[in-house]
Every structure is written in C-alpha cells, then in structure tokens.
Amino acid sequence: MTNPTALSESSPKLKVRIHKPLNVEASFLNPHSPITAAEHFFVRNHFPIPEIDAASWRLEIGGAVNNPISLSLEDLKAMPATTHQCVLECAGNGRLFLPNVPEGVQWGLGAAGCAAWTGVPLRDVLARAGLKPDATELVFEGADHGIPEKQLKPKNEISYARSVPLEVTLKPEVLVAWQMNGEDLSPEHGSPVRLIVPGWYSVASVKWLTKITAITRPFLGYFQTVEYTYWAHRGGLQPERIPITEIFLKSQIAHPVLHQQIRAGEACRVYGAAWTAGVPLAGVEVSTDKGVTWHHAEFDSPAEDHAWRLWHWDWKPVDIGNHSLMSRASDIEGRTQPAQHNEDYESYLIDHTISIPVEVV
Amino acid sequence: MTNPTALSESSPKLKVRIHKPLNVEASFLNPHSPITAAEHFFVRNHFPIPEIDAASWRLEIGGAVNNPISLSLEDLKAMPATTHQCVLECAGNGRLFLPNVPEGVQWGLGAAGCAAWTGVPLRDVLARAGLKPDATELVFEGADHGIPEKQLKPKNEISYARSVPLEVTLKPEVLVAWQMNGEDLSPEHGSPVRLIVPGWYSVASVKWLTKITAITRPFLGYFQTVEYTYWAHRGGLQPERIPITEIFLKSQIAHPVLHQQIRAGEACRVYGAAWTAGVPLAGVEVSTDKGVTWHHAEFDSPAEDHAWRLWHWDWKPVDIGNHSLMSRASDIEGRTQPAQHNEDYESYLIDHTISIPVEVV
C-alpha cells in the first residue's frame, strides 16, 4: 500500500481529512491554469488503496455482452487514445459549510479538481465485448474492497462499485483512463486504470477499475442505495431515494480564503472556478453584501471539454470590519445557484452560494 | 382515531407490541380453522390509524393511465366482487427468535394471520383507467402518514406507500378489498378499503388505500429503500439492497407454546400452520431432537387459495426435562426451510426452523 504520509506531507496545499482509508483535500485552485496538478488533487477513498501490479492487471468485461473479454493494459494502450479535460467533484464537497455539519468526510471547498485525462473511450472498449440489446446499465468495480461504515451494510467485504446508465457510458468523453495531466496515474488516483465520467460527481469515476458488468435492470449496490443517495421528488410521488448522478452548477471562491485579512483601500482580486455538468456557463457574479447586490466576474479561461472555468472580480474594500464574499454561477439555460442548501440532499450536492467570511483591516 | 386499548384489551390472545402507532401481535392460530378472526389478527401500523369517512372516501388512479379516475366505495361495490383466502405475514414476523434480537417491532410468532378477503380484482379496477403500454409498476398509497423512524428519512411527512410490479398486480387474486371474513374492514385493518397481494409479505397489502399511480420505472420510496429491504445476491454481483417481495416457505408451531409444561407419558398434539407464496406445500415435519430426526405431520386443512394449511403431529414425550420442538415445511418443488437465518436478510424474512423450548414434567 502506498504510504499516505508521503502524499499528505508533500505539500502545504493538502489537508488529510482521514488517514485510513486515505482522504485528502486540496487547496483547491491553481490560479494560473484550470488544470489541477496530480499532487494537488483531492483524494477520496472508501477502502485502503489496493496494491496492483500493472503488468498482471486485467479489465474483465462480462454480463449482458456477446463476447466476455479480459483486457491487459497493453491491450488498452494499443487502442486509439484521446485526452479530455474534466472536473471531478466529490458529492460531499463543501459539507463543512452546511448548517449543523453532518457526518461524512469533512470536506471544505477542496474536494474538487480539474485534470486532463488520457485513455480509450469506453464505448470503443465495449464494442469489443458487444453489448446485448437488452443491456441498460453498466456496473463498474474497483480493486479496492472492505466493509463499509454505515449501519445498513452487507455482512461481508465488498468492492467499491457504481453503475451508470448505458446511454451515458456511450458518450465519447467517457474514458477508461491511465493518464492524468500527461503522466501515468498514481496509486492514490487509481493506477493503473480508472473510469472517467465527465459531468457526473466523481463517485462514478471508479478508480482501480477491474471489472465491468453489463446488466438489464437497475443496480442496487451499497454505494448507490445506502451511501451517495438523496431524496428526489419525481412525478408527484413521495420523495424517492435515488443515486447521485450529474454534478450541479457551481462556483467556488479560491481567493480570498476563509478568514483572510484584506487591506482596506487596496485592490483585492477575488477569483475562483465555476463548472457545470455540460450546459455551458453564462456567467459568474460576486456579492460582498450577503447577496443583496451582485457584480459580474470575468472568465479567465475558455469553455473547454468538461473543464471548470477560472474567473475573477476585482474588489476594493473600503469599510473596515467583517465581510462575507459569495459567488454565484449561471448557465445558458437560465439555471443559477440557489441561496440555500436543499435539505432533501442531506450532506451531498452542496451547490448553494457559500459565504466566505473575510476581515478588512 | 380508533382507541387502541379497545382492541388490545379485548382478548388475551393479543399482545400490544407498540401503542403509538398501534402494533398488535396475535396468539397466532385458531386450531379449528385456517381462518383467523379479525379481532385476533395481528396489526402492523407505521403511522397513526387515519380517520376516514367511508362516504367521502375516494380511490384515485393516475399516472401512466389513459383515463385517470376517482372511484367511490359505491363505485367499487357495484363491480363484480370475489373472495380469496390468503395469509398475510409481516416481513419481520419471528424477529424475537433471531440471535442478538435486532431493532424493529419485537414480533414473536404472531405477526401472521389468514383471512378470507372480499373485494374487486385490482385488474378490473385498472381496466377502467386503462394502463398505458409503458407502465411497469404501480405505487399504492395509504391515507396513513407521518415522519418515519429510521436515520435515512425524508424531511417531511410521507404517506405509507409501496409499489408492486405490474405483472403481479394483474393476477386475478390481487384484490381491492373491503371485507375480511365476511365483515367490513375495521379501522385497524384498513377500512374502508385495503389492497390484498396474496403471496407477498403484507408490506405490500397497503391499508387505507387512497391512491394508485402507474409508473414506468422502479419506485424508490422510503418503505422500499430504507425499510423493508435486504441484501440479495444477483448475477454474480456484490449484494444489492432490494425490496422485500414474495413470502418465503414457512411453518410455525402454535402448540405447545414457548416454555409450556407437558406431562411425560401423555399424548401431546403438536400443531401449527404452514404456508408458501404459491408453490403447493409437499409436507411438514416435526423434530424433538434439534433437527436430527424428523416426523411427518398430517395436514388438517386443504390447500385452498393462498390460505395456510393446518397440520398436526402427536408426540408422546417420555424423558423428563427440557426439550425443543421444531417444524419444517417443504414444497413440491423441493424447497425446505433452512436451519439457520440468513444474515443477508437482517431482521426480515425469518424463515428458518425455529426452536420452541418446552419442559416435560
């Protein structure tokens, strides 16, 4: 197993939230690029990092397929590869900002990152196995395994596993990836191979991918019935407990940081990142008066792939004292971030406008 | 609201397990007939018994139907009615016999009963609304409502609601029932109208039925994701948390009762009931030596509808001291009750051979 302290102590930008299994938060933004370096990228693990020998690693594809296959890393690398930038955000990112901070890993703003992922489109891999016409969903399993924490848990060890509907998995940007920012994945980030599902919370981007099973019904494993679920209202029925899927429209302030002191009368660049599941961003606004008035920020990076976009707004604070900063993203379909957390989401899907308290001195 | 003490104190055969909401266990068997009298029938409620005026009660049928309808009790009674005998068993019946008795209502053997239900076949009611071709499941809601108990609960009140796959709801024995053993339903048992789903745990036989919604996807409400679920192994995947559906093959000993004293050298009639989801019973056996040897019991009532069958075996105990009695049912497809509870079922689906300790004096 990889030594967690090697990673956690390597940079002041990282904060270890849990040592066993390793869960590390990042700082969260590189102000010079939308790309987060691998060593500054958050780590969310449910079980110990598995030891995998890349030379003997195999990806098994079975279930509702015509031709079950087993691929080596060489087999994958022999296929035409592509690179796609995308945000990965933990479904619990921002949990520390909820009222009455709930249980779960205590993420601040740093359980999100943006990287360029290189691998084979999943649909090309699936084509080799040949999906049967009644397949509706794919179950992705990692090599990581253990007994999960919650009360409603299975009695024996399970692997980390999530499913994604077939129509999503066939999008060209869904990758079986072995590189992050041009370098082979590290053990923390899923080496030798992980799934990348752009536009979905990172719960779907299964690390240490070893098995794909095509099924003909919804998968109801632990990580989509007990954990990573929320109460959704559908079709006039009572709330239903459904798995977390697509990421929500969001922006975060990277600077100033929480409780930072800022000099009155001097320019302060407020900057951060904003992202969506796929609908293009329309803009980002900043408020210094608890959301009464909003100022338009400027984008500093283009809309590219599923990457987040950097933005800034220059503030010249005058009044000495405590202030709070908020950012709010909108998309071209008219969505905007809500002012309050939706209680039906419990400790997930934290997409409301978060207040960053600062002190003008 | 009905006065719970009126019911609970009316008979020594009943034991109130919870007063609010009312949950009452029965004794559990009438030795003279497979039919359990309404006043000796167990009561499992999740919320307070709703006050309903039968004259203004309506059953709303909507969702994926061509013609949403609202029926009065008179409308229902004007349709051709039928009567069907069936066992209702709570999915937690027998919980007290599990090792390390888990949470939940502490049912002994008496959360099961058998009655003759009179009503309209659900499929005849559905025909009036006209199901759309893409309907796959029906959601049944009762008039009872409240905030449920478990940790993973919705933030607001919900009604009691369960879904049943369409192909099951179209069976002729599935009834929209207003009578139990030839008399109108009492408030405890769901008046004016309840659903009866023979062969399924009684969790599906929704009381105080007020709303049926046809849907085109699986329903994921509280009572089939948080409660009334278990870990099932399907298709080589990790355990999945699925809703409880069909009842399991089972037998219970009604006499002697727990810790009863029996005279050595005298005949003791061991009797009870056995039931299945629909596959006919092949036989019942009794063991007095912890399952080493088994004796064939005789059936005392016919195989009729989905009723349970009474059985007996005459024991003449010789050795003074503590003994334990066990019964074991088999069906014509070769199933038989297991010796141990399956831990994947947690505190539900208690179908193993239960030991009844007795003392021979």
**Residue pair A214/A203 in contact by the 8 Å Cβ criterion:** no
Residues in A closer than 8 angstroms to B215, CB to CB, are 235, 237
Q: How far apart are the first and last CA of chain A?
A: 47
Cα dihedral A185, A190, A196, A201 in deg (nearest 10):
-130
Measured between CA atoms, how close is A134 to chain B, in angstroms?
A: 15
Identify the residue whose tokens are 């071709």. B133
Report the share of chain A in percent with pLDDT over 70: 97
Within 8 A by CB and 6+ apart from B313, the residues are B269, B270, B271, B284, B286, B295, B296, B297, B298
Note if the bond before B198 is cis, omega within 30 degrees.
no
What 3-state class would DSSP assign to B139? Answer: strand
The 3-state DSSP class for residue B294 equals coil
Determine the pLDDT at residue A336: 98
Domain with CATH 3.90.420.10 in chain B: 4-243
Q: Is the pLDDT of residue B6 over 80?
A: no
CB contact under 8 A, B221 and A231: no
Higher local confidence (pLDDT), B149 or A199: A199
Mean pLDDT of chain A: 94
As annotated, the residues of chain A forming the CATH 2.60.40.650 domain(s) are: 250-360
CATH number of B250-360: 2.60.40.650
Burial per residue of A254-292, b for 16 or more beta-carbon CB atoms within 10 angstroms, e otherwise? bebeeeeebeeeeebebbbbbbbbeeebebbbbbbeeee
Q: Give the tens place of pLDDT for each residue, B256-315.
A: 999 999 999 999 999 999 999 999 999 999 999 999 999 999 999 999 999 999 999 999
Note the pLDDT of residue B1. Answer: 35
Residue B11: predicted pLDDT: 57
- At B173-231, the pLDDT tens digits run 999 999 999 999 999 999 999 999 999 999 999 999 999 999 999 999 999 999 999 99
pLDDT tens per residue, range A90-105: 999 999 999 887 888 9
Q: How many CA atoms lie within 13 A of A271 on its CB side?
A: 19
Select from 3.40.225.10, 3.10.129.10, 3.40.630.30, 3.90.420.10 the CATH code of A4-243. Answer: 3.90.420.10
B108 alpha-carbon distance from chain centroid: 13
pTM of the model: 0.92
DSSP string, A252-286: EEEESPTT-EE-TTS-EEEEEEEE-SSSPEEEEEE
Confidence of residue B325 (pLDDT cuts 50, 70, 90): very high
Query: Could you count the other beta carbons within 10 Å of the beta carbon of residue B39?
Result: 15
pLDDT single digits (tens) A148-177: 988 788 989 999 999 999 999 999 999 999
Instruction: Please give the ipTM for the structure prediction.
Output: 0.91
Is A215's CB within 8 Å of B231's CB?
Answer: no
pLDDT value at residue B12: 59
Q: Which of A63, A226, A238 sits opposite B235 (nearest CB)?
A: A63
DSSP secondary structure, B79-135, as one string: SPPEEEEEEEE-TTTTGGGSSS--SS----S-SEEEEEEEEEEHHHHHHHH-B-TT-
Q: pLDDT tens across A321-348, in order?
A: 999 999 999 999 999 999 999 999 999 9
CA angle B253, B255, B261 (to 5 degrees): 125
Q: Residue A7 has what pLDDT?
A: 44
Q: For chain A, how many residues are written?
A: 361
Cα distances (angstroms) measured from residue B322 to each of B39, B234, B256, B319, B355: 34, 42, 13, 9, 12
CA–centroid distance for A86 within its chain: 9
pLDDT band at B336 (very low <50, low <70, confident <90, very high): very high
Helices (H) and strands (E) in chain A, counts: 4, 24
Lowest mean pLDDT among A1-10, A40-49, A64-73: A1-10
Dump pLDDT digits (tens) for B7-55: 444 455 788 989 999 999 987 788 889 999 999 999 999 999 999 999 9
Residues of B in contact with A225 (CB under 8 A): 225, 229, 240-241
Q: Report pLDDT for B103.
A: 82
Do the chains contact at B236 and A218, CB–CB below 8 Å? no
Residues of B in CB contact (< 8 Å) with A are 63, 139, 141, 151-152, 154-156, 158-159, 161, 213, 215, 218-222, 225-226, 229, 231, 235-242, 343-344
Mean local confidence (pLDDT), B62-82:
98
Average pLDDT, chain B: 94
Chain centroid offset of residue A229 CA: 15
C-alpha of A294 from chain center: 27
pLDDT at position B10? 46
Residue labelled with tokens 């229902």: B76
For residues A288 and A315, is the Cβ–Cβ distance under 8 A? yes
Inter-chain touch B343–A155, beta carbons under 8 Å: yes
Residues of chain A with a CB closer than 8 angstroms to some CB in chain B = 63, 139, 141, 151-152, 154-156, 158-159, 161, 213, 215, 218-222, 225-226, 229, 231, 235-242, 343-344
pLDDT tens profile A261-302: 999 999 999 999 999 999 999 999 999 999 999 999 999 999
As a whole number, mean pLDDT of residues A123-150 equals: 96
Determine contact, residues A273/A255, Cβ cutoff 8 Å. Answer: no
Q: What's residue B14's pLDDT?
A: 83
Q: What is the pLDDT of residue A5?
A: 36
Angstrom distance (rounded) from CA A42 to CA A25: 5
pLDDT category of residue B170 using cuts at 50, 70 and 90: very high
Beta strand A229-232 with A250-255: parallel, antiparallel or unpaired?
A: unpaired
The confidence band for A27, taking pLDDT boundaries of 50, 70 and 90, is: confident
